[in-house]
Chain A
Amino acid sequence: MNIIRRFLSTSTENSSYTISSRLLNRNPRTLEWQNLQWRSIGWPLQYPSKDYLHRARLLSSGRHLIAQIDHYYTGNTCVQASTREWAIRKHLATCKDRSVAYNLGLILAQRAEQCGITKICFGHPYDQQYEKSSRLQYFYRGLIDSNIEFEQRENNQTQMTKDSIDGINYDEHEHDVRYTPPKIHYPPDTYQEKLHYFQLGLNKKNELLSNNEMNKEEKISS
């Protein structure tokens, strides 16, 4: 069967344009979003482990609290929210309170999503410092309530696999993820879109928004 393919455009300006066989993507962060960036390994016996890409931290100076997200490899601070800002401080009575830490968590997560950072590694989960300081607990609670994702290490390029059972897995000693068959349940486009919008939080409503009307309108329209 002869399939005649016709371009709907009438322009012939690009008919003689030859593409190079290799495309260089200069974006230093593509590999991270595609899960192809080499990650550091060797942290199971060391604390705190540094196998994250983006880590949320709560720092306190003398009179202020600063919440920031660091990037591990470059050491840059990507996003920052602090009580020094007029925008935040004008609603507060005290600057170093734990409820302030909660709100800083929410604001930090919102700003991080605006910057393209959807997955954050939460600094110290169960630690003497964490259990002692309720401020830190409220901070992480704020991050969790803002529906931002937790960073997990899965499907790296080629690394020694770790089983959930301790011991050496002789069969899958070097598990090369590139050559596994893709796990697709839906046609690629709709599944990835669904996942993407789920990650961006467009299907979820932020419960802390006090505008109930807005929520109702969105529910009706979506």
Chain B
Amino acid sequence: MSIIIRKNLLKLIWNIQLESIRYHRVIPMPDPMPYTTAIWRKRFPYRNKTQFEVTHDEVYTKDMELKTLEERRHEFDPQPIRVDKVNIGYLSPIDSISTAESRNRFEHYTTQRNRADLKKLHYDGALRLPIDEVHNDWLSSKYFSENLRMIADHYGLFDDLFKHGYFIPRIPLHINYPYSDEQVTPVYSGNRLYAKDASEKPQVEWKSTNKENEYYTLIFTNLDGHLKEDDAEVLHWFVGNIPGNQIDKGETLCTYLPPFPPNGSGWHRCVFLLYKHKNGPINFSQLYGSLPGNSVSLEKRTFRTIDFFNKLCSHLRPISLAFFQVTWDISVKNIFYNILGMKEPRYEFDFEPRYVPPQQFSVEMTPFHTYLEQYRDRKDVNEEVIKHYLTMTCPFNGYPNVPKYPLAIPNEKWVPDWYKYELIKYHKRQGKWKMMPF
């Protein structure tokens, strides 16, 4: 009997404990609607029920509608292509350093380390490296190639020229535009020039071995300046089948047209690409198509390096690169009128419009004139200001009679409040009147 009693007792105690556990560890129901009134909250059906009556899904139904990151990615781009970029050019450097040379260099370093006079220069802070010599030596090193590739990547050249390819430029390309009798404007990697600096043909030089069958092709394109299509380039200069180093002996399949960045369109990248032929001269008209010879028509001069390289990739390989950036200059007007025979276009930067909430028919608590002015085109507003400014400064109307303290002068007749505030804004040059130069 005692044992049974004890068993029942145990059961009792266990049940009591369970129930007490249940009421002790009450997990309060989180508020599904945080901004509700007290009355609504009291009437909410799940108010008294807690962790065993209400499951998460019954309350939070909105979570089920949210998509995972994977699903959203799939929606955005159902078949994404992930292509690693391919090295199109030469894989290994052309003039690599021999082991004997590198051994010499290391010996040179050790001798330098033992020179007391050099060390003295170091410690005194008087050491000055010859910058021109350093530059010339750098041009033939692998660091130059790597640096040039980094910069070309930074400017997005490889994305626009060869979509899924890149190359490491192995040879430095020396390009100089004539500036005056003694001075030249050099083109490095990403120089910023005005259009008049590039109006004449440049002198192009590169180092070539004196072999028999070495042919090169030089192409000069403007990546950003195409006035019609977004993804096409403008071909400015095409010289094909250049034997060795001499451009004069190559076929100019497209005469030099100076770059013409229109006003307001920013800085255009203009690229010189040097390709090396694998086996002798190439018949371009057969393999690629017709190239504009002397013609100035912009339709014929549309060019896509991707198409060009796809057709000729078994015959050519890019070996060198140089590019600069051009912007508008007054000489561009002459190019349009004299050479191209078109009117000069003028562009403006397309700013993102400021966000204004969608216009409603009647709005409370806002003065109607400021509300409506938000929805006018900003240019019309500015036009009013400019017209007023022009009437003020019109030479036929005499000198404008601007009082010294305009806000201190009382109005003669009654004027509604909103108009009064507009006048105050005008006198203080706030808001749209900020454009007034005085």
* A joins B in a complex: yes
CA distance A157 to B352 in the complex (A): 10
Bound complex: CA of A118 vs CA of B130, how far in Å?
A: 22
Q: Is A17 an interface residue (CB 8 A)?
A: yes
Instruction: Give the CA-CA distance A103 to B131 in the complex, in Å.
Output: 9
A13 and B296 in contact (CB under 8 A), knowing A86-B141, A93-B118, A115-B190?
yes
- Are B299 and A90 interface neighbours, CB within 8 A? no
Q: At the interface, yes or no: B245 with Cβ under 8 Å from chain A?
A: no
B residues 379-416 touching A (CB-CB < 8 Å): 382
B330 touches A7 (CB 8 A): no
CA distance A114 to B269 in the complex (A): 14
Which of B134, B349, B351 counts the most chain A CB atoms within 10 A? B134
The interface residues of chain B lying within 8 Å CB-to-CB of A111 are 147
Interface residues of A in 89-140 (CB under 8 A from B): 89-94, 97-100, 102-103, 106-107, 110-111, 114-118, 138
Contacting pair A114 B189 (CB below 8 A)? yes
Q: A210 with B130: in contact, given A34-B267, A87-B138 (CB under 8 Å)?
A: yes
Q: Are A20 and B341 in contact (CB under 8 A)?
A: no
Minimum CB–CB distance from A139 to chain B (whole Å) comes to 12
- Measured CB to CB, the nearest residue on chain B to A30 is B266
B266-309: contact bitstring with A at CB < 8 Å (1 yes, 0 no)?
11110000000000000000000000000111111000000000
Asked whether any CB of chain A lies closer than 8 Å to the CB of B82, the reply is: no
Majority-rule SS of A interface residues: loop
Query: Which residue, B135, B338, B342, has most C-beta atoms of chain A within 10 A?
Result: B342
B127 touches A116 (CB 8 A): no
Given A91-B129, A91-B130, A14–B266 Cβ distance below 8 Å? no
B192 at the interface (CB under 8 A from A): yes
On chain B, the residues within 8 Å of A185 by CB distance are none
Are A76 and B138 within 8 A (Cβ)?
no
Number of interface residues of A (CB under 8 A): 77
- Provide the residues of chain A in CB contact with B191, threshold 8 Å: 114-116
A154 at the interface (CB under 8 A from B): no
Contacting residues, chain A, for B128 (C-beta < 8 A): 103, 208, 210
B382 contact set on A, CB distance < 8 A = 179
Q: Is the CB of A114 within 8 A of B131?
A: no
Judge if A15 is at the interface, Cβ distance under 8 Å: yes
Range for the number of chain B residues in contact with chain A: 35 or more
Give bound CA distance, A8 to B345, whole Å: 17
Query: Are B153 and A31 in contact (CB-based, < 8 A)?
Result: no
Whether the pair B147, A118 counts as a contact (CB closer than 8 A) is no
Q: With contacts A86-B141, A88-B134 known, is A23 near B113, CB below 8 A? A: no
Q: Contact partner of A116 among B156, B190, B434, CB < 8 A? A: B190
Check: B126 CB closer than 8 A to any chain A CB: yes
Asked whether A23 lies within 8 Å of B265 as measured between CB atoms, the reply is yes
Q: Is the CB of B434 within 8 A of A180?
A: yes
With a CB–CB cut-off of 8 A, which chain B residues contact A31?
Answer: 266
Please name all residues of chain B whose beta carbon is closer than 8 Å to the beta carbon of A181 when the two chains form the complex: 435, 437
Q: A17-B299, A76-B150 are in contact. Are A7 and B437 (CB under 8 A)?
A: no
The reply to whether B154 and A71 contact each other, CB–CB distance below 8 Å, is: yes
Q: Is the CB of B297 within 8 A of A14?
A: yes
Question: A26-B224, A210-B128 known; A97 and B340 CB under 8 Å?
Answer: no
Stretch among B104-112, B201-209, B248-256 lining the A interface? B104-112
26 contacting pairs across A/B (C-beta < 8 A): A8-B337, A9-B338, A11-B296, A11-B340, A12-B341, A13-B296, A13-B297, A14-B340, A15-B342, A17-B299, A17-B342, A23-B262, A28-B155, A33-B325, A34-B267, A76-B153, A85-B141, A85-B143, A90-B105, A92-B127, A99-B123, A100-B122, A114-B189, A116-B191, A138-B125, A157-B351
* B positions within 8 Å CB-CB of A: 105, 108-109, 112-113, 115, 118-119, 121-131, 133-138, 141, 143, 147, 150-151, 153-156, 160, 180, 182-183, 188-192, 194, 223-224, 227-230, 262, 265-269, 295-300, 324-325, 329-330, 337-342, 345, 347, 349-351, 354, 378, 382, 428, 430, 434-435, 437
Q: List 7 other contacts, CB 8 Å, given A88-B134, A94-B122, A115-B188.
A: A13-B300, A28-B156, A36-B349, A99-B122, A115-B151, A180-B435, A221-B182
A-B complex: 8 closest residue pairs judged by Cβ atoms: A87-B137, A13-B297, A116-B190, A30-B266, A114-B188, A93-B118, A99-B127, A87-B138
